């Protein structure tokens, strides 16, 4: 009997499916073509810099490996540790989880590690910007462009705004172009299966286009049962960081079908804003957490939702009208009871936008 595995927190958990069941596995886990000469070429542009601010926006473990490789290249070129500052953030995952991950991985740079929620902002050209960005002589953005169920494929500008490094007083102004021209942001950005480098203004569109082509998956037929891997730690650390996947995969299941999300949520529900919206049902159109809940509720109006998670079943039922299970096997058994073993099953591993 074939086994399929799902990432769940720090472990992997299996589900067995009879051979007679119609199963399709969709893997969106692109192999990034790391051109390490790109890192070297970008570093060549920094040889005259007195210090460097690395704006690291966590999106995946791939960009975390890229960060470590870039720092190693800087050290090999003779840059001293006190001349490198890592400005770290992520709007996708729980901030406490990010702190734990980076403080362990970047032990030699703990004194140079700054998180966006702890950084002072100063006024610059009608915007508020983190002090460390202005004080540095060079600035390099490191991140990945991957889809999000609310925003789609966020641009580099959206990443910086959501991470609170930069706050525009007027987001409709052309200050972004001024910022790129005056502060001359460079980037090492993973777009889909390719590493892009150089001036942000020159690479951001091509990078985004490549990400969309790589992470968008066209399917011919929707399934009755869809099993979705939330990605394991740190992506599935909270319910808030996991739920956006519902929108990414919703086109992969028929109306009345079942979406089964496998996400541990070991850190609980999420931010204070998300918890308040979840229990009050008063959903803000402006907050990202509110937009996630709005989209999920629209999906569960026409499709069923179940989760393999540590979140109590009573909370899932009361707030999301969703079922909770201890294992993917239990969830699948529930699905077959509703639709029989003649139901088609799709398994989704990796971040992708399913379209028909």
Residue whose C-alpha is closest to residue 292's, from 283, 300, 301 = 283
Give the number of other CB atoms < 10 A from CB of residue 265: 25
For residue 234, is the peptide bond before it cis, meaning its omega torsion is within 30 degrees of 0?
A: yes
Stated pTM of the model: 0.91
pLDDT beyond 90 at 243:
yes
Rounded Cα distance, 133 and 56, in Å? 12
Domain limits of the chain? 3-30+216-355, 36-214
Reply yes or no on whether the pLDDT at 172 is more than 60.
Answer: no
Report the percentage of the chain scoring pLDDT > 90: 55
Indicate if the pLDDT at residue 9 is higher than 60.
Answer: yes
Residue of higher predicted confidence among 34 and 127 = 127
Higher model confidence: residue 107 or residue 250? 250
Cα separation, 134 vs 183, in Å, equals: 8
The mean per-residue pLDDT over the stretch 96-102 comes to 86
| Alpha-carbon span 9 to 316, nearest angstrom | 19
Report yes or no: 109 and 98 within 8 Å, Cβ to Cβ.
no
pLDDT tens digits for range 158-167: 888 888 888 8
Domains 3-30+216-355 and 36-214 fall in the same CATH topology: no
199-216 mean pLDDT: 91
Q: What is the pLDDT of residues 110-123, one digit of tens each?
A: 888 888 888 888 88
Mean per-residue pLDDT over the chain, rounded: 89
| pLDDT at residue 63 is higher than 60 | yes
> What single DSSP character describes residue 60?
-
Q: State residue 11's pLDDT score.
A: 96
At the topology level, CATH places domain 3-30+216-355 in 2-enoyl-CoA Hydratase; Chain A, domain 1 (3.90.226)
- pLDDT value at position 308? 98
303 and 258 in contact (C-beta within 8 Å)? yes
Q: Rounded to an integer, what distance in angstroms lies between the CA atom of residue 209 and that of residue 193? A: 11
Give residue 281's region: left, alpha or beta (phi > 0; psi -120 to 50).
Answer: left
Predicted confidence (pLDDT) per residue in 244-286, tens digit: 999 999 999 999 999 999 999 999 999 888 898 888 877 666 6
Separation CA 313–CA 306 (nearest Å): 10
Helix (H) or strand (E) holding 63: helix 61-76
CATH number of 36-214: 3.40.50.11440
CB 188 within 8 A of CB 142: yes
Quick one: which of 305, 304, 299, 294 has its CA closest to 263? 305
pLDDT (0 to 100) of residue 313:
96
Q: Quote the DSSP letter at residue 240.
A: H
147 Cβ contact partners less than 8 Å away, ≥ 6 residues apart = 153, 211, 215, 216, 248, 351, 352, 353
Quick: pLDDT tens for 277-322: 888 877 666 678 888 898 999 999 999 999 999 999 999 999 999 9
């Amino acid at each position: 009997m074939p086994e399929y595995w799902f990432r769940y927190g720090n472990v992997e958990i299996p589900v067995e499916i009879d051979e007679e069941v119609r199963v399709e596995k969709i893997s969106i886990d692109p192999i990034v073509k790391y051109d390490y000469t790109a890192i070297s070429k970008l570093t060549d542009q920094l040889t005259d810099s007195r210090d460097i601010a690395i704006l690291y926006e966590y999106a995946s473990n791939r960009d975390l490996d890229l960060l470590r490789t870039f720092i190693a290249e800087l050290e090999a070129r003779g840059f001293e540790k006190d001349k490198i500052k890592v400005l770290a953030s992520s709007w996708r995952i729980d901030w406490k989880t990010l702190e734990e991950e980076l403080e362990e991985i970047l032990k030699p740079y703990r004194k140079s590690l700054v998180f966006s929620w702890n950084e002072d902002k100063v006024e610059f050209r009608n915007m508020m910007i983190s002090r460390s960005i202005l004080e540095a002589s060079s600035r390099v953005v490191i991140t990945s462009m991957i889809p999000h169920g609310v925003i789609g494929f966020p641009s580099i500008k959206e990443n910086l705004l959501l991470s609170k490094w930069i706050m525009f007083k007027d987001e409709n102004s052309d200050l972004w172009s001024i910022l790129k021209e005056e502060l001359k942001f460079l980037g090492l950005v993973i777009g889909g299966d390719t590493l892009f480098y150089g001036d942000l203004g020159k690479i951001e569109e091509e990078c985004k286009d490549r990400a969309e082509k790589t992470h968008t998956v066209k399917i011919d037929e929707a399934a009755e049962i869809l099993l979705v891997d939330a990605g394991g730690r740190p992506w599935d650390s909270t319910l808030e960081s996991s739920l956006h996947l519902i929108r990414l995969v919703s086109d992969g299941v028929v109306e009345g079908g079942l979406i089964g999300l496998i996400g541990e949520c070991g850190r609980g529900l999420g931010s204070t804003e998300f918890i308040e919206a979840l229990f009050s049902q008063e959903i803000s159109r402006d907050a990202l957490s509110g937009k996630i809940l709005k989209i999920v509720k629209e999906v569960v109006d026409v499709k069923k939702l179940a989760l393999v998670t540590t979140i109590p079943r009573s909370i899932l039922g009361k707030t999301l009208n969703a079922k909770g299970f201890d294992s993917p096997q239990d969830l699948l058994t529930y699905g077959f009871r509703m639709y029989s073993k003649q139901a088609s099953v799709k398994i989704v591993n990796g971040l992708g936008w399913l379209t028909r």
